[in-house]
């Protein structure tokens, strides 16, 4: 089948959830891993899921034959798919590939999840989303070629379906070659100075092979995602990125012919390059001009996060501009009238960017939002009417496209409904709560200041009487199957409140007894009552709603249901006091109260789009501040406020960092500064590559900061000391991600190392993170070794 160089469809979405409306993919993949089903079973399930998805998208208004439906499926991760396509498998997995370099299905998952001594690819955050991708490892000798034509087969399976059902011409979606390499890290053993980008020509040659194969299969369009163009955080200067983009797209777009030859065949599909998650233009350089200067046929820009371009952009006049006016990253229904005005501005003669054609799109893939609002019968009807999940967003895109081609009158009803929803939302009770606004408005600088640290440290020592090198944990203890079953029964109404409380109390009592027996110095209640460190708080605070089916892929088969933060936040009743006070009643040792910080609560929720993030953070912080006061009143002298997401929320553009760090640090201080000097405030951050946030960590002004440090062998301690940090520091002494029990010697060495690089009086001894994913046997043994090691080093001080 041969195609003529086609026009881009007038409406599209950049990608769609892959997990399935009822998490069918999760279930199928996990039963394959468990050995309950075969690779063929899994292939059959994903085949059905893909066909159902593309047909559903066609029916929702994208149409079946214009390449408006993205072919954006992945069985695990789109970056891993690119690794598989290229056969770019690290040395340690080389034995798993076929002679041609292909990864069979089980090996594909092994690269993602590791096996025995072979560690999986590292996982890290995908731009500023809560999706996590696998980091490719590329060295000078890593094999790179076009070895796996899965993307071609998936195009064909939808375009010529074997089941005799409706055909859909999709637009295959691939991670772009430049982004692929910018997200890669050098393979182990790569020579000093080698950068994955050095392999650009090889990757581009392989992609040229993919494009030829897609053209031969009849694909009119292909989508190459290049979000690396919207971030400053990858550490490569703009000029080098620009050079790579020019080289890559000269080879792919200029050297390969999109025009039909005499026999009607083309060398490649038309190319759409997307730049989701932010602004292509920054102080560093103009990524929009860069893409406009290539020979690709279409460019998609994010007009939710990015600025609307004004003035002509040379080169764009020959291309389609896919205007990402519908937010793919958040769940609010769009103000269609306002979005239409943006679109009209783009086509205004003289003032617009001068695109050859305009199409309506989403700002990002819809991967980051749940499937369907209609699937949430328990959501308040008012709130539901303000929301748009993936399916509603497809309809919004289609409506805007109709308005552009046929005029506003053609979609008058939809526009009116959208305007009405925006109005009711703004006026709905709970969206603006005057008392909450008044309290935030009355805050002053004094509200974020505590007494000087020296004074606090003295008062805390007098109150707590801790030994040197105090031992503690990060908060959670094993969330056993039994705890989860008990909670599930309670949620279903099969267990009474009283029985549930009794079960959780029993768990707390045994956890406290164990900590006493182990000889830990600062105890915790163990968090058995928490389903999740954010959802637990969201369920109790006013201003949040939670969903039943609102699952979003976090990584691989892991999904989360982010709460929806829709209104002004306040705390109708204490959140944690009862459990913590119960634990404290069982022991003479200090018990640490555990709270999740404002930044982390926002980072792992869908946030409102009608209030600046910093203002919302202040509201959450005030609710937590009241909780701290109540904990103190209940006799709790140590409170930890976890902020594992502090670094996660760092904006992609460095120019936005100061403002972000300002409000995020302020909100933490607002949450904690109401504590008396004698109350010891802890914080916990889940990582140790502090880089750009090291100053902010000091700025939090916590009395004790615990961080992950075991894998980097305490590297963080001297770094923090150099940055001027001079309060308590708990560098993790063992990694909690595996069941491995650290030896006494190993922990002793690490504690000694820490005590050498900073004043030993500041050092705390604790694991890297919470223990909820661990089982009891290794937890007990590991903590026993931790306490022995702390005692050993203490004796030498």
Question: Would you tell me which residues interact with ligand GLN (CB under 6 A)?
Answer: 474-476, 533, 594, 642, 644, 684, 686, 769-770, 772
Which of the stretches 394-402, 513-521, 564-572, 679-687 binds Zn ion when contact is defined by CB under 5 A?
Answer: 679-687
Q: How far is the CB of 457 from Zn ion (least distance, A)?
A: 24
533 binds, among ligand GLN, Zn ion, none (CB under 5 to 8 A by kind): ligand GLN
Q: Which listed residue (483, 697, 769, 786) binds Zn ion by CB under 5 A? A: 769
| DSSP structure string for 351-376 | TS---SEEEEEESS-GGGS-S-GGG-
Q: Given the complex with ligand GLN, which of 15 and 767 has the nearer CB atom?
A: 767
Helix, strand and coil percent figures for the chain, each rounded to 5: 45, 15, 40
Q: Given the complex with Zn ion, which of 686 and 700 has the nearer CB atom?
A: 686
Q: Given the complex with ligand GLN, which of 271 and 599 has the nearer CB atom?
A: 599
- 572 vs 552: CA distance, rounded Å: 28
Q: Given the complex with ligand GLN, which of 131 and 194 has the nearer CB atom?
A: 131
Q: How far is the CB of 510 from ligand GLN (least distance, A)?
A: 17
Counting contacts by CB under 5 A, is residue 290 touching Zn ion?
Answer: no
- 448 vs 668: CA distance, rounded Å: 9
Q: How far is the CB of 600 from ligand GLN (least distance, A)?
A: 8
Q: Given the complex with ligand GLN, which of 422 and 693 has the nearer CB atom?
A: 693
Comparing C-alpha atoms, which of 547, 563, 551, 122 is closest to residue 368?
551
Catalytic residue among 160, 329, 525, 737: 737
Q: Given the complex with ligand GLN, which of 331 and 649 has the nearer CB atom?
A: 649
Q: Given the complex with ligand GLN, which of 211 and 769 has the nearer CB atom?
A: 769
Instruction: Please tell me whether residue 507 adopts helix, strand or coil conformation.
Output: helix
- The residue at minimum Cβ distance from ligand GLN is 770
Q: Which listed residue (621, 686, 729, 786) binds Zn ion by CB under 5 A? A: 686
Q: How far is the CB of 524 from ligand GLN (least distance, A)?
A: 8
Comparing C-alpha atoms, which of 416, 398, 551, 482 is closest to residue 57?
398
404 binds, among Zn ion, ligand GLN, none (CB under 5 to 8 A by kind): none
Q: How far is the CB of 543 from ligand GLN (least distance, A)?
A: 22
Residue window 336-375: x/- pattern of binding to Zn ion, with contact defined by CB under 5 A = ----------------------------------------
CB 321 within 8 A of CB 274: no
Do β-strands 123-125 and 132-134 pair in parallel, antiparallel, or remain unpaired?
Answer: antiparallel
Q: Across-strand partners of 642? A: 596, 684
Instruction: Please tell me whether residue 794 adopts helix, strand or coil conformation.
Output: helix
475 binds, among Zn ion, ligand GLN, none (CB under 5 to 8 A by kind): ligand GLN
Q: How far is the CB of 594 from Zn ion (least distance, A)?
A: 12
- 325 vs 521: CA distance, rounded Å: 54
Comparing C-alpha atoms, which of 661, 731, 732 is closest to residue 698?
661
Which of the stretches 380-388, 442-450, 465-473, 685-693 binds Zn ion when contact is defined by CB under 5 A?
Answer: 685-693
Which of the stretches 156-164, 593-601, 665-673, 768-776 binds Zn ion when contact is defined by CB under 5 A?
Answer: 768-776
772 binds, among ligand GLN, Zn ion, none (CB under 5 to 8 A by kind): ligand GLN
Angle at 794 between CA 790 and CA 797, to 5 degrees: 145
Residue window 719-758: x/- pattern of binding to Zn ion, with contact defined by CB under 5 A = ----------------------------------------
The answer to whether 737 is a known catalytic residue is yes
Comparing C-alpha atoms, which of 195, 629, 562, 208 is closest to residue 389?
562
Q: How far is the CB of 637 from ligand GLN (least distance, A)?
A: 18
CB 544 within 8 A of CB 486: no
Burial of 542 (0-12, 13-18, 19+ CB in 10 A): middle
Comparing C-alpha atoms, which of 107, 185, 196 is closest to residue 148?
107
* Cβ-based neighbours of 86, under 8 Å, separated by 6 or more: 143, 144, 145, 146, 147, 148, 203, 206
Helices marked H in 183-230: 200-217
Cα radius of gyration rounded to whole Å, the chain: 27
Residue window 639-658: x/- pattern of binding to Zn ion, with contact defined by CB under 5 A = -----x--------------
Binding-residue total with Zn ion (CB under 5 A): 3
Residues that bind Zn ion (CB under 5 A): 644, 686, 769
Instruction: Cite the active site residues.
Output: 737
């Amino acid at each position: 089948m041969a195609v003529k160089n086609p026009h881009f469809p007038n409406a599209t979405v950049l990608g769609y959830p892959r997990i399935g409306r009822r998490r069918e993919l999760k279930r199928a993949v996990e039963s394959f891993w468990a050995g309950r089903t075969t690779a063929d079973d899994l292939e059959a399930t994903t085949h059905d899921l893909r066909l159902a998805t593309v047909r559903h998208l066609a029916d929702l208004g994208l149409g079946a034959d214009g390449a408006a439906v993205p072919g954006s499926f992945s069985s695990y991760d789109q970056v891993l798919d690119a690794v598989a396509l290229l056969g770019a498998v690290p040395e340690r997995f080389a034995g798993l590939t076929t002679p041609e370099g292909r990864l069979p299905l089980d090996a594909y998952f092994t690269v993602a999840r590791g096996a025995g001594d072979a560690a999986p690819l590292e996982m890290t955050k995908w731009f500023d989303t809560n999706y996590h991708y696998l980091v490719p490892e590329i060295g000078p000798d890593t094999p790179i070629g076009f070895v796996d034509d899965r993307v071609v087969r998936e195009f064909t399976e939808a375009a010529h379906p074997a089941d005799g059902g409706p055909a859909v011409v999709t637009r295959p979606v691939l991670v772009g070659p430049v982004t692929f390499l910018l997200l890669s890290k050098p393979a182990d053993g790569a020579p000093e100075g080698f950068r994955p980008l050095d392999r650009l020509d090889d990757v581009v040659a392989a992609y040229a092979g993919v494009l030829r194969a897609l053209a031969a299969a009849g694909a009119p369009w292909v989508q190459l995602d290049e979000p690396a163009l919207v971030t400053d955080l990858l550490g490569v200067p703009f000029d080098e990125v620009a050079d790579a983009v020019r080289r890559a797209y000269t080879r792919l777009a200029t050297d390969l012919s999109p025009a039909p030859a005499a026999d009607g065949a083309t060398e490649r599909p038309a190319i759409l390059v997307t730049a989701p998650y932010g602004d292509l233009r920054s102080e560093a350089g103009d990524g929009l001009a860069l893409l406009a200067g290539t020979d690709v046929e279409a460019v998609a820009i994010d007009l939710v996060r990015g600025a609307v371009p004004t003035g002509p952009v040379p080169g764009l006049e020959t291309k389609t501009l896919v205007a990402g006016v519908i937010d793919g990253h958040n769940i609010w229904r769009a103000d269609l009238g306002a979005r239409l005005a943006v679109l009209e501005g783009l086509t205004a003669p003289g003032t617009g960017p001068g695109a050859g054609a305009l199409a309506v799109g989403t700002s990002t893939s819809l991967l980051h939002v749940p499937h369907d609002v209609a699937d949430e019968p328990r959501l308040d009807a008012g709130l539901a009417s303000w929301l748009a999940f993936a399916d509603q967003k497809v309809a919004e895109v289609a409506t805007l496209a109709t308005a552009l081609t046929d005029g506003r009158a053609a979609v008058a009803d939809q526009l009116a409904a959208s305007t009405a929803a925006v109005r009711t939302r703004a006026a709905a009770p709970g969206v603006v709560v005057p008392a909450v606004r008044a309290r935030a408005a009355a805050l002053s600088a004094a509200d974020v200041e505590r007494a000087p640290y020296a004074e606090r440290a003295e008062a805390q020592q007098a109150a707590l009487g801790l030994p040197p090198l105090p031992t503690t944990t990060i908060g959670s203890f094993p969330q056993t199957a039994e705890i989860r079953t008990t909670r599930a029964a309670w949620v279903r109404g099969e267990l009474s409140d009283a029985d549930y409380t009794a079960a959780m109390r029993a768990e707390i009592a045994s956890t406290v007894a164990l900590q006493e027996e182990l000889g830990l110095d600062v105890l915790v209640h163990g968090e058995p009552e928490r389903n999740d460190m954010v959802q637990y708080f969201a369920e109790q605070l006013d201003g949040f709603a939670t969903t039943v089916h609102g699952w979003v892929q976090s990584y691989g088969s892991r999904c989360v249901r982010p709460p929806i933060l829709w209104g002004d936040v306040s705390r109708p009743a204490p959140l944690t006091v009862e459990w913590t006070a119960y634990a404290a009643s069982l022991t003479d040792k200090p018990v640490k109260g555990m709270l999740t910080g404002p930044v982390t609560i926002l980072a792992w929720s869908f946030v409102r789009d009608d209030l600046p993030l910093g203002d919302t953070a202040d509201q959450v912080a005030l609710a937590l501040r009241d909780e701290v006061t109540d904990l103190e009143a209940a006799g709790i002298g140590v409170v930890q406020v976890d902020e594992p997401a502090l670094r996660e929320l760092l904006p992609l553009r460095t120019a936005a960092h100061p403002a972000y760090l300002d409000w995020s640090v302020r909100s933490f201080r607002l949450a904690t500064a109401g504590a008396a000097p004698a109350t010891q405030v802890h914080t916990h951050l889940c990582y140790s590559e502090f880089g750009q946030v090291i100053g902010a960590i000091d700025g939090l002004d916590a009395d004790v900061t615990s961080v992950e440090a075991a894998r980097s062998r305490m590297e963080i301690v001297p770094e923090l000391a150099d940055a001027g940090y001079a309060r308590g520091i708990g560098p993790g002494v063992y990694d909690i991600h595996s069941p491995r029990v650290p030896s006494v010697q190993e922990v002793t060495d690490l504690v000694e190392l820490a005590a050498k690089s900073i004043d030993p009086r500041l050092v705390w001894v604790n694991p890297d993170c919470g223990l909820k994913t661990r089982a009891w046997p290794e937890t007990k043994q590991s903590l026993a070794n931790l306490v022995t090691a702390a005692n050993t080093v203490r004796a030498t001080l």
